[in-house]
Structure 1
Amino acid sequence: MKRTKVKRSSSFLELMAQPTVKGSQLILYFSTCVSHVLRSSRGRDKILGVVQHLSDLYKNCMIDYLAENRIREWPIILRNAKIINESMKNGRKIFRLLRWIEELGSIGKNTKGPYDAIIILKLVRHIAGAIYYILDNLVWVAQIGVISKVITNANWKWESTKDAASFVRYILLLIINLFSVRKRRAKETELIEELESDPGRIINYDNHGYKKMLSLVKIRTKRRYQALDIMKNFLRIFMLMKSLKLPFTQNVSGVFYSICGITSSALAIFKLLTLKTQIRIEGKQTIKRTDFQ
């Protein structure tokens, strides 16, 4: 019996690691991937985030070195790293301009339909997100001097409130992802048990087992992407704890927070680069269920 060929779209790392790829093809593929990231404002934001946290990492390492060797004067390269860090930080705010409108749209979507724990958490999370983006836009507009006469004296309050709203947003997002992963894991186990309980071990192109198999692949893909989101959320929460000056956070080295920022931005770029698993069935032959366990 001839088996169906099941093809999965190759991931970014798989294509980059092919030993037979020519140099010109590798450069072309890398350029295509970078272009894919740059198409979206979030992709540009994350690339600037990597540059920002890299410069911040260098700055913190150099400051520790100067303090250890009792050197007071900053070298020019350290001053440049600080300038790059501040420039990237301010530049990223441009990509967050009016993002609160997107959050308001998400609030409208979550107000429809039946309510459960996850929907309520999402609703509160989008409200916190809208508050964060509004305050972030106000702080940026105040920093460039447009409305400085109005909120300059209270700028630190806007900044701390913005960080608090972002902290609540990431905490809620972490809880939502944990609930979703648990729910998808239970659904995945249920589908596997249903496929194993069937008396036949063959999946036809047009039978019910085929649809279950596709559902299993989709659930696994979404669950693995959510694992990346959970890791990113943890890192962002650590960084916001320092910004809010929570207890014990000031004793942690700034190098650790810089590494958290680099890792968080790199994971976001990696998620944009990787291709979600897609299943394409050639022909109407049959396949064994054991191939997907």
Structure 2
Amino acid sequence: MGTARCGAARPETRSGAEGSAVRRGGAERSGAAARLPGCPAATAMQGFVEFTNRSQGRERIFRATQYTCMLLSYVIERNADNDKLVLKLKQLESSMSSGRKMFRLGNVVHALVAARKTTELPEVLPRICLTASNLTRALYFFCDTVLWLKSVGLQSDINKAKWQNWATKCYYFSLLMNLARDWYEVSWRLEQAVQEEKMKENCFWDEQHQQLNSSKCKGLHGFLFLLFQILRSHPPLLLDVVKNLCDLSGPLDTLGIYKTNPGVIGFCGLLSSLVGILTLASPHLKLKE
């Protein structure tokens, strides 16, 4: 009977080799599962999910789509055979604009909180520029909310042209304040670069070499070269300048200050949207306040 019990128990046990194979297989499967999230495709998908989970991420995707439609419709509208495609692109552009207004609901509070934070900045000019920019952005978002109420039919008696003009002026002033802050950053770095050049020149004993270095930084060509070097060595500042300059095209055209065409506005808006997506996905590329 003891032998029978031992014999009955043997089929439930595995040999050492089989157990090792099972353990190795389980370890390989667990190792593969551990390696899967680290692969480039999985990392990219995870980053995309995190980006689109934020309302800012979705708004910027909508913005890029809106200006892409504007650019494409301008490029192909001269061909009479593409009337239907142009109409569809303009309808999609209008839908993206309405969707963006919905995503921006509540941004008034965000802008006011940002304005409160910027009042605590230690340097005077950035504090004034950024606070004024955030306050006017809050006004812009308020006007944008009123326009959204008009577009969905909740307030039909709103003067759309008047509120749109106010929104454009607020947005335009906010951009000017951002560019003033950018110029402050650039001029500060230009001053630092010039001082470094002077220190280097003082280290040279050869007078001819000193003349070469001093003439290199003189004139418009030297200034542009130095500006290029500064922007190239500070990507967040370069991206912020590009974004603000591109965003200016829309208000300048709407307010009649500098008339362009939908193609230019679409291209500038698309470029600005791509920069916004890049800085949101990679926060280290965003200019710090």
Decide: shared fold, TM above 0.5.
yes
User: d(CA) in 1 for partners of 2:198 and 2:39?
Assistant: 44
TM-score in terms of structure 1 length = 0.65
Which of residues 168, 172, 176 in structure 2 aligns to 1:171?
176
> How many angstroms apart in 1 are the aligned matches of 2:53 and 2:93?
23
* SS of equivalent to 2:79: helix
How far apart are the structure 2 equivalents of 1:227 and 1:140? 33
Q: By how many angstroms is 1:169 displaced?
A: 0.4
Q: Is the 8 A contact 1:139 1:158 kept in 2?
A: yes
3-state SS, counterpart of residue 78 of structure 2? helix
> Aligned partner of 1:57: which letter?
L
Q: Is the 8 A contact 2:126 2:184 kept in 1?
A: yes
Alignment-derived partner of residue 204 in structure 2: none
TM-score by length of 2: 0.66
1:225 aligns with 2:236: yes
Query: SS of the residue aligned with 1:147?
Result: coil
1:105 aligns with 2:116: no
Q: CA–CA distance in 2 between the matches of 1:186 and 1:45?
A: 38
User: What is the aligned partner in structure 1 of residue 265 from structure 2?
Assistant: 257
Task: Work out the number of aligned pairs and report it.
Answer: 219
| TM-aligned CA distance change 1:275 to 1:131, over 3 Å | closer
Alignment-derived partner of residue 100 in structure 2 = 92
Q: Tell whether 2:118 aligns with 1:133.
A: no
- Residue 118 of structure 1 aligns with an amino acid whose one-letter code is P
Residues 107-122 of structure 1: pairs in structure 2 closer than 5 A: 107-112=115-120, 116-122=124-130
CA RMSD of aligned residues (A): 3.1
Q: Which residue of 2 aligns with 1:62?
A: 76
- Aligned equivalent of 1:181, options 183, 186, 189: 186
More strand by share: 1
8 Å CA contact 1:135, 1:159 repeated in 2: yes
Check 1:276–1:220 CA distance in 2 against 1; reply closer, same or farther (3 A cut). farther
Distance 1:191 1:43 in 2: 40
Could you tell me which residue of structure 2 aligns to residue 50 of structure 1? 64
Q: Quick one: which amino acid aligns to residue 106 of structure 2?
A: L
Q: Mind listing any 5+ residue stretches in structure 1 that lack a counterpart?
A: 1-21, 195-218, 278-293
Q: Distance in 2 between matches of 1:114 and 1:55?
A: 43
The one-character-per-residue Cα deviations of 1:169-192 (angstroms, maximum 9, x if unpaired) are 011101112212333565688899
Bigger fraction of residues in helix: 2
1:260 is matched by which residue type in structure 2? C
Identity across the alignment (%)? 20
CA distance in 2, matches of 1:46, 1:222: 26
Q: Secondary structure at the match of 1:56?
A: helix
Q: Identify which of structures 1 and 2 has the higher relative contact order when contacts are C-alpha pairs closer than 8 Å and 6+ apart.
A: 1
The CA deviation at 1:122 is 1.8
Quote the offset at 1:245 in angstroms. Answer: 2.6
Deviation at 1:258, TM superposition (A): 0.9
Worse-matched range after superposition: 104-113 or 117-126: 104-113
C-alpha change, 1:188 and 1:33, in structure 2 (3 Å) is: farther
CA distance 1:28–1:83, change in 2 (3 Å): same
- Supply the distance in 2 between the matched residues of 1:117 and 1:176 (Cα, whole angstroms): 7
Q: Does the 8 Å contact 1:36/1:273 carry over to 2?
A: no
1:237 equivalent to 2:248? Answer yes
Q: Give the equivalent residue in structure 1 for 2:16.
A: none
* 1:257-293 deviation digits (Å, cap 9, x = unpaired): 111111111111122333639xxxxxxxxxxxxxxxx
Distance 2:283 2:231 in 1: 14
What CA distance in whole angstroms lies between the structure 2 residues aligned with 1:78 and 1:128? 35
Letter in 2 for 1:165: C
Query: Contact between 1:139 and 1:155, CA under 8 Å: does it hold in 2?
Result: yes
Match of residue 83, structure 1, among 79, 88, 91: 91
Q: Which amino acid aligns with 1:228?
A: L
Gaps of 5+ in 2: 1-35, 200-229
Which letter does structure 2 place at the counterpart of 1:134? Answer: F
